[in-house]
Amino acid sequence: MTTTLAELDRARDTALDLSGWGRRFSFYQPRNFAFWGYLLLVGIGILVFLSTLAREYDAYGQAIGLAVTSFAIYGALFWWFTQHIDHYAKLPAKLMVVAFVWGGFAATGAMAANANDAILALYAKTFGQVWALDWGAGLAAPFTEEWAKGSGLLLLIAMAPRQVRTAFDGFILGAFIGLGFQIVEDITYAMTSAGTQFGANQIGASVGTIILRMVSGVAAHILYSAIFCAGLVYLLGRPGEPRKVGRGLLLIAIPMLLHGAWDSLAAIAGPSALKLIGLLIATIVVALAIVVRVYQSTVKREQDFVRDVMAPEQARDVITAAELDAMAGNRKARKAYRKAGRKRSERKRARYVLDAAYALADELAAARGADTDRVRFARTEVARIRAGVPSRW
């Protein structure tokens, strides 16, 4: 038994080391070159964005106000959703903010926007205006925007090598890079829409764009970057994720293809509005099916980490085998565990026990597996909730 426990504890240490789970992230790293590179490019992007906003605010203030408010709510909802799907070896929130800011400012204003303008103009000069209108965006943005966003992950890995360890980390950070890009791009689109009626009826002119971008946004930049960055981690390899070049290249190519198809939908569909709507829905469905598949394949390693971290707790009877399976399982496994109780109060308690067990896992990760006061307290919380004793606190 002792030997087994020792092995389980060693497996926990290895999992915590490989996953980087619970490690703190310091943004200010003056000896890290990537930190300065990040600051420079994000700084340029912020200057570009703020100068555009300041220039256009007096003319399109109403539309800007609506767009900023709407997309702030959108961003908050997405943040909640990401927390909801990431039950496992969580990344520091600070790192997600750093990813978001890269996508919003560096990838847009300091990189992709300039390249898009130049490539579209070159296409028009080489192949004609009609061709550029039909296919220009679809053959420019997948290269410029996906790489501008994805390159941010290279800097994030250099800035947080102890935290960014798996393809799932790339997936989550990529989603936040995409969210930042999406929101800033959407605000820019809203400003452009506000000017389409010569500055009159700004709200009416931009609200359609805002709604369309919100609805389609989930299957656009957020999704593309999540897949792309998962692919980048596979391509590079990380301590918690062995290098898989083929899979990496495939996951990098897929969002580029999806992005190209999305930007070319109007040309592929032709003048038929019905065909356009059909293609739009089909593209969203295909993109969502792919991202779910990528999520399922990348999250497996994180689930294994949770199992390794919590297995000693099960061996020490802090949690049950069913609770361990639920914690390291998918949504269905957690639901099955919660629904196993016959009474409503039992089902409710099962949910709280699971939440307390996840909190214990986070404490164990932060303590690097040590028996600290916080860990011991988290254990007593699991026992208290299971026993149905009210909290003293």
58 binds another protein per the rule CB under 8 A: yes
Number of residues that bind another protein (CB under 8 A): 77
> Which residues does 66 contact at the CB level (< 8 Å), separation at least 6?
190, 203, 206, 207, 210
124 binds another protein per the rule CB under 8 A: yes
State the minimum distance, in angstroms, from the CB of residue 343 to another protein: 35
Binding residue for another protein (CB under 8 A) from 95, 111, 226, 251? 111
User: Which residues ranging from 352 to 381 are in contact with another protein (CB under 8 A)?
Assistant: 367-372
State the minimum distance, in angstroms, from the CB of residue 297 to another protein: 25
243 binds another protein per the rule CB under 8 A: no
Binding residue for another protein (CB under 8 A) from 72, 73, 76, 118? 118
Angle at 61 between CA 56 and CA 65, to 5 degrees: 120
Cα 137 from chain centre: 24
Binding residue for another protein (CB under 8 A) from 50, 69, 83, 117? 117
184 binds another protein per the rule CB under 8 A: no
> Which residues does 246 contact at the CB level (< 8 Å), separation at least 6?
none
346 binds another protein per the rule CB under 8 A: no
User: Which residues ranging from 290 to 319 are in contact with another protein (CB under 8 A)?
Assistant: 312
Binding residue for another protein (CB under 8 A) from 51, 129, 296, 380? 129
User: Which residues ranging from 142 to 161 are in contact with another protein (CB under 8 A)?
Assistant: 144, 147-148, 151-152, 154-155, 157-159, 161
Cα 116 from chain centre: 24
110 binds another protein per the rule CB under 8 A: yes
The answer to whether residues 251 and 138 touch, using CB atoms and an 8 Å cutoff, is no
- Please report, as a single letter, which amino acid is at residue 139: L
23 binds another protein per the rule CB under 8 A: yes
Does an H or E element contain 223, and which? helix 221-236
SS (H, E, C) 108-147: HHHHHHHHHHHHHHHHHHHHCHHHHHHHHHHHCHHHHHHH
State the minimum distance, in angstroms, from the CB of residue 131 to another protein: 9
Residue 88 CA to residue 299 CA, distance in Å, equals: 8
State the minimum distance, in angstroms, from the CB of residue 390 to another protein: 29
201 binds another protein per the rule CB under 8 A: yes
Binding residue for another protein (CB under 8 A) from 46, 52, 53, 59? 59
112 binds another protein per the rule CB under 8 A: yes
22 φ, ψ (degrees, to nearest 5): 85, -5
Number of neighbouring beta carbons within 10 Å of residue 93: 11
> Which residues does 48 contact at the CB level (< 8 Å), separation at least 6?
105, 108, 109, 110, 113
Strand partners, 241: 238
Binding region for another protein (CB under 8 A) out of 79-87, 121-129, 243-251, 350-358: 121-129
- C-beta of 24 vs 335, nearer to another protein: 24
11 binds another protein per the rule CB under 8 A: no
Binding residue for another protein (CB under 8 A) from 72, 200, 288, 321? 200
User: Which residues ranging from 247 to 276 are in contact with another protein (CB under 8 A)?
Assistant: 266-271
> Which residues does 140 contact at the CB level (< 8 Å), separation at least 6?
115, 116, 119, 120, 123
